[in-house]
Structure 1
Amino acid sequence: MMKAFTGLLLVPFATSITSRPHRSIILPTLNDTNNVGVKNIAMIDENRLDPFTNNTQQRELIISLFYPIDGAPSQLLVDQQVNYYSGKADPVTPYMPPATAATYDALLAEYGVAKGTFSRLFTRCQTNAPVPKDLSGYPLVIFSPGAGASRFTYTTIAQEIARKGYIVACLDHSYDALVVEFPDGRLIHGVGKDSPYTLELMVQVRAQDVSFVLDELLSSSLLSPYNINVNNTIAFGHSLGGATTAEVMLNDSRIKGGVNFDGTLFGSMEKPDTMLSKPFIQFGRARNGPNEDQNREWKRLSGWKLELQLEEAAHETFSDIPLLAEVTGLRKRLGRKGDEILGKVDGLRALEIMVAYVTAFAEYVLTGKNSSLLSDDGGGRFPEVKVLRRG
């Protein structure tokens, strides 16, 4: 069972929402085209009870589906408000729906983020743009966020991968994400870091979510006309999403390779007899040599594997957060503390690096075409990325 979840508020571009609070920001991209569409789709797994409701309700999820379209820079409409859930096609997309935006405003208020900040952010995706009749020629990439994180805080990464000719499905894991907002206005809040649920259970449920989404993309009456090919999928995730990626790869043959951005591989990968034989990239921030967890994980990757580190990165570098901090002026206000939280890598540069490596890896795994990025020196394109080891 699936439902569409869409909508938009359109306002003019501005460079600073701190100095001009009545205006909004169109987030920068790696190019200025609007050739990516996005649909937000709610799903109900009628065959699975949700353990976070004491098994009293069916598991509910929502995804953002990004896809390539024929498009050019669109003229933005001024001072026109439309219903967020209207289903209307529009040239830009709100970064977050209203309640989610308000939740993030409140979360970051202690850092000086003003009320209304997140509701004034927009992306150069076309909401509900017509989907090409046949998407089978576009490889599918599926993404799992970090613990507690909303899928929306990885939007720019997803849209740039889609711009390279991929379909990208970004999940929200209900009761894990800080808040999940549904089309009827219902909110599901995360259980929080002090919940009684184990990391092993969280990873297991997340992996089941990913496989369910692949099932729905294949069989749902809403999406089946688009002929999405789910049988050759690449998965990637950040933090606990990286653990989710490895977990689902162990049990779902449709996923051919995975990328873990700065996550520890909790779940089945902690067991001494577990071996993951599919291609896998470990990509994290710089450390003083591999730690015990990294060495354990490396030994349990028995297929093609590569371990990379991004110099001067922090954990949040592998998300949209640095870019958001830069365009809103938050990074400047945080000063040195901002470097600790966000890393020193420029937000657009981090975006370019992540997109380049995910797409190069996907092309290698799915077509066999090798990229200099995956070589011992990375081809010299990103000198701040270091190859730690390969196998």
Structure 2
Amino acid sequence: MLSRLPLRPGLKRLIRIFLSLLLILIVIIVSGVAFIEIQRHRTVALPAPSGPFAVGRMEYDWTDRSRVDPFAPHAGQKRELVVWSWYPAAHTSGSQSAPYLPAKWGQANDNQIMQSNDSIQTHSIDHAPLSSSSERYPVLIFEPGMGKIPTQYTTLLEDLASHGYIIFAINPTYSADVVAFPDGRVAEATNAGKVEDGANLQVAGDRIIQVWAQDVIFTMNQLDTLNAQPGNIFSQHLDLTRLGLFGHSFGGATAAQVCHMDARCKAGIDIDGALFGSVAQSGVTQPFMVMQHDPGACSDADCRSFQNKVHTILRTVPKDSSYDLSVKNTEHFNFSDYAVYFSPLRLFGLLGSIDGQRGIQITRTYVRTFFDTYLNNKPSPLLREPTNAYPEVQFSAP
């Protein structure tokens, strides 16, 4: 029988080596999976807000009856948005912090290689009462990056709310990977709502940004209504004469586009977002800041193109109210919560070598300082020149 034929010594040795390597590979894979599971379920408290206010959070579901959604998988569907608000709240004892994501959102968005949503501790209280320390508060509208949702920027948004800003943050339906509506429906990203592989980036971006810009303008209109209607938490408490726009990545590009389109924008920030739409040629006339990750030598064509567009829009900004700054040793996702909890993005070069909490602290400080300057009339030398307190921040001339 063949099974009884003796194996030559050399073949036996090869089989032993193969089995040993296979065992080592299995141990590495099992250990890696176990490490990821332990790390992603380890409790992580987000950096605490630095302002004097407690932070409240609530959710709205708004439908724009005037627009058919061009990203929706079914023809004729109206554009529907889930918008979250973070706001300065009254201090109440014994309140439990809100989950990083509500249950339905968490089930739909849990990524098996990122920090588990249920292990992240926030500093927000669901539906907390609005602080009565001020009659009216400045308002900010935020858009996340492509594929992302606003809770992935909780650390930044909570901090702004703790300093007296009411933030309304848009979930871009069918562009975000997943949006969960309050009634349990789940909307996943569609090809129409995202930049497809191989697509012309400029053409796709110009197309999508028109929808995102209209989302922001619709939200502005909703805030007019919310402020005028009696009986809701924000009634007559939104100071819409002090309205700022900001966002990360594609959301930052959207902030620039809307400031170009709508004079209700009094100041805007683009956090590391390549520019699309007509703003790239026409610019903005409001105070505006571009905050970038470390550009390094900026020797490739994409970097030079981005810098040229930044300089184009900032040259149209009123004198002494335009800012182009970068943060050393950061990468694109250092401006999000990914920087402060377990994420493999550092392995792919999407997080820089800067300490995650330090990078977030810098982002929070400069975003708040900009809006304090132009919405609250509290100018700061931080915006004028480098400082020893934040040597990582580099200024460029527009």
Measured against the shorter chain, the TM-score band is 0.7 to 0.9
Could you report, residue by residue, the CA deviation over 1:153-207 in whole angstroms, capped at 9, with x for unpaired residues? 1111100111111111111111111111111011111124428892212111111
Find the counterpart in structure 2 of residue 229 from structure 1: 239
Find the counterpart in structure 2 of residue 40 from structure 1: 59
Find the counterpart in structure 2 of residue 50 from structure 1: 69
**Structure 2 CA distance for aligned equivalents of residues 118 and 267 of structure 1:** 34
- Contact 1:308/1:388 (8 A) holds in 2: yes
**Structure 1 CA distance for aligned equivalents of residues 394 and 180 of structure 2:** 38
**Structure 2 CA distance for aligned equivalents of residues 226 and 32 of structure 1:** 23
Find the counterpart in structure 2 of residue 82 from structure 1: none
Could you report, residue by residue, the CA deviation over 1:313-369 in whole angstroms, capped at 9, with x for unpaired residues? 0101111111122xxxx46xx7x616x222122222222111111111112112443
Tell whether 2:104 aligns with 1:94: no
Q: 1:63 aligns with which of 83, 89, 100?
A: 83
Find the counterpart in structure 2 of residue 188 from structure 1: 187
Normalized per residue, the structure richer in helix is: 2
- Contact 2:138/2:165 (8 A) holds in 1: yes
Aligned residues: 343
**Structure 2 CA distance for aligned equivalents of residues 344 and 70 of structure 1:** 37
What one-letter code is carried by the residue in structure 1 that aligns with 2:103? Answer: P
TM-score by length of 2: 0.78
Find the counterpart in structure 1 of residue 259 from structure 2: 249
- CA apart distance, 1:275: 2.7
Matched residue SS, 2:142: strand
Structure 1 gap ranges (5+): 1-15, 76-89
- CA apart distance, 1:260: 0.8
Structure 2 gap ranges (5+): 1-34
Q: 1:317 aligns with which of 334, 343, 360?
A: 334
Find the counterpart in structure 2 of residue 362 from structure 1: 371
Find the counterpart in structure 1 of residue 277 from structure 2: 267
- CA apart distance, 1:133: 5.9
Find the counterpart in structure 1 of residue 250 from structure 2: 240
**Structure 2 CA distance for aligned equivalents of residues 17 and 27 of structure 1:** 19
**Structure 1 CA distance for aligned equivalents of residues 277 and 40 of structure 2:** 44
| Distance change in 2, residues 1:148/1:165 (3 Å) | same
**Structure 2 CA distance for aligned equivalents of residues 277 and 324 of structure 1:** 38
- CA apart distance, 1:295: 1.6
- CA apart distance, 1:118: 1.5
Find the counterpart in structure 2 of residue 148 from structure 1: 147
**Structure 1 CA distance for aligned equivalents of residues 247 and 42 of structure 2:** 33
Matched residue SS, 1:231: strand
TM-score by length of 1: 0.80
Matched residue SS, 1:342: coil
What one-letter code is carried by the residue in structure 2 that aligns with 1:261? Answer: I
Could you report, residue by residue, the CA deviation over 1:115-174 in whole angstroms, capped at 9, with x for unpaired residues? xx2133231111110124696532111111111111111111100111111111111111
- Contact 2:153/2:337 (8 A) holds in 1: yes
**Structure 2 CA distance for aligned equivalents of residues 282 and 21 of structure 1:** 32
**Structure 2 CA distance for aligned equivalents of residues 366 and 34 of structure 1:** 18
**Structure 1 CA distance for aligned equivalents of residues 38 and 146 of structure 2:** 33
Find the counterpart in structure 1 of residue 285 from structure 2: 277
What one-letter code is carried by the residue in structure 2 that aligns with 1:65? Answer: S
**Structure 1 CA distance for aligned equivalents of residues 214 and 133 of structure 2:** 27
**Structure 2 CA distance for aligned equivalents of residues 33 and 23 of structure 1:** 29
What one-letter code is carried by the residue in structure 2 that aligns with 1:218? Answer: D
Matched residue SS, 2:278: helix
| Distance change in 2, residues 1:33/1:166 (3 Å) | closer
Over the aligned positions, Cα root-mean-square deviation in angstroms equals 2.7
**Structure 1 CA distance for aligned equivalents of residues 377 and 130 of structure 2:** 28
**Structure 2 CA distance for aligned equivalents of residues 162 and 372 of structure 1:** 22
Q: 2:381 aligns with which of 372, 375, 391?
A: 372
Find the counterpart in structure 2 of residue 199 from structure 1: 205
| Distance change in 2, residues 1:154/1:113 (3 Å) | closer
Moved more, 354-363 or 241-250: 354-363
Matched residue SS, 2:184: coil
Find the counterpart in structure 2 of residue 4 from structure 1: none
What one-letter code is carried by the residue in structure 1 that aligns with 2:69? Answer: D
Instruction: Report the structure number with the largest CA radius of gyration.
Output: 2
Find the counterpart in structure 2 of residue 211 from structure 1: 217
Q: What does 1:85-164 align with in structure 2 at a 5 Å threshold?
A: 90-106=95-111, 109=112, 112-113=113-114, 117-132=116-131, 136-164=135-163
**Structure 2 CA distance for aligned equivalents of residues 32 and 359 of structure 1:** 11
